[in-house]
């Protein structure tokens, strides 16, 4: 199957035709799906097909001759055929080293990985989504406690609301702005009492010199291999050990600064900071430090939905540390 696909690609057939060949072969992807252009292109331009190996966009070469090393495995095409294949598609593998994989690695180094969960938190519309919980009591005496979701105006409801997220219940709903205001006032009061007098601390990470030494060692290993002072086997052994040490050191650094930032987050807290500096993510984070949840109880039987908002139907559940 793979050899036939290579021959189709070498003849200049369209990628759609080659993908169709994979689908008609009866072989599915590892996940059991049909094939698409991206994995087919990646597979057909992989240097392993002709016995080569690439590290960070560079072919692994013999330090003595400078020629690409050939691995000890069965090949599917020749080096010449592989070069013709990458000439057709340079996205994943090419001799210039500028590939989708290397561009992604460089982007991560420059910008870091995107924190999609953090972005979602920062752009939330409702303050207590998933913090508020349904207080409806079932016939067996147990409370629903499903997470409540924020909803925009619908039907006769002209205001944003929190509603029970369990479709089997869905029996409790309350105006979002009034709930938010009541919980905000309570949380802000607690935060001012506990954190307004704290002073932020900015301590440098204790392992900076060690990390710099490891990074310098990484460059030294790479330079030694390029200068043919060490063998490929030694280079890979040293590189793998160094990479592991660098990764451990960097994680320790990130954990240190994350813990320090968490401690400093609420230091010197004031209602002005809440109103003028905190975004939605920071407000939700502050609430989560004070409260485990907010239980919204249903209206008592016989009370009109248009009656005055009753703050006593909100049950904040404080965290043990607060």
Same domain, 16 and 144: no
Same domain, 256 and 171: no
Residue 224: inside a domain? yes
Report CA dihedral (211, 213, 216, 220) to the nearest 10 degrees: -130
Question: 264, 279, 300: which is the final residue of a domain?
Answer: 264
Confidence check: pLDDT of 122 > 80: no
Same domain, 254 and 273: no
Per-residue pLDDT reduced to its tens digit, 250-266: 999 998 988 888 778 89
Q: What pLDDT band is residue 123 in, cutting at 50, 70 and 90?
A: confident
Helix (H, G, I), strand (E, B) or coil at 164: strand
Same domain, 244 and 283: no
Same domain, 194 and 75: no
Question: 75, 110, 145: which is the final residue of a domain?
Answer: 110
What is the number of alpha carbons within 13 Å of residue 293 lying toward its C-beta? 12
Report how far residue 18's alpha carbon sits from residue 40's, in angstroms, rounded to the nearest whole number: 8
pTM surpassing 0.85? no
Residue 203: inside a domain? no
Q: Enter the tokens of residue 227.
A: 């200068």
Same domain, 82 and 38: yes
Residue 253 structural domain: 208-264
Angle, CA 203 vertex, CA 200 and CA 209 arms, to 5°: 165
Same domain, 277 and 193: yes
User: Residue 65's pLDDT is what?
Assistant: 80
Question: 264, 279, 302: which is the final residue of a domain?
Answer: 264
Produce one character per residue of 255-268: b if its CB has 16 or more CB atoms within 10 Å, e if not.
eeeeebeeeeebee
């Amino acid at each position: 199957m793979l050899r036939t696909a290579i021959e189709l690609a070498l003849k200049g057939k369209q990628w759609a035709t080659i993908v169709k060949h994979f689908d008609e072969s009866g072989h599915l992807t590892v996940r059991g799906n049909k094939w698409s252009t991206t994995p087919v292109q990646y597979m057909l331009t992989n240097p392993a097909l002709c016995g080569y190996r690439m590290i960070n966009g560079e072919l692994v070469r013999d330090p003595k001759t400078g020629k690409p090393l050939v691995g000890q495995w069965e090949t599917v095409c020749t080096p010449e055929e592989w070069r013709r294949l990458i000439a057709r598609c340079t996205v994943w593998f090419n001799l210039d080293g500028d590939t989708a994989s290397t561009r992604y690695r460089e982007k991560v180094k420059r910008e870091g990985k995107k924190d999609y969960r953090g972005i979602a938190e920062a752009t939330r519309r409702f303050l207590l989504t998933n913090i508020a919980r349904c207080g409806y009591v079932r016939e067996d005496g147990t409370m629903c406690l499903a997470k409540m979701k924020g909803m925009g105006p619908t039907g006769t409801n002209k205001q944003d609301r929190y509603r029970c997220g369990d479709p089997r219940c869905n029996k409790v709903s309350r105006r979002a702005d009034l709930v938010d205001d009541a919980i905000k006032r309570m949380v802000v009061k607690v935060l001012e009492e506990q954190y307004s007098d704290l002073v932020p601390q900015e301590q440098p990470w204790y392992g900076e010199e060690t990390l710099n030494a490891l990074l310098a060692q990484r460059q030294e290993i790479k330079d030694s291999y390029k200068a043919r002072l060490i063998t490929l086997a030694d280079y890979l052994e040293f590189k793998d050990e160094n990479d592991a040490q660098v990764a451990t050191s960097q994680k320790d650094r990130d954990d240190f600064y994350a813990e320090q930032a968490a401690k400093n987050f609420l230091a010197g807290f004031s209602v002005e900071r809440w109103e003028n500096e905190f975004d939605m993510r920071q407000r939700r984070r502050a609430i989560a430090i004070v409260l485990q949840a907010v239980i919204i109880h249903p209206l008592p039987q016989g009370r009109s939905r248009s009656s005055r908002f009753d703050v006593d139907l909100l049950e904040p559940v404080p965290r043990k540390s607060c």
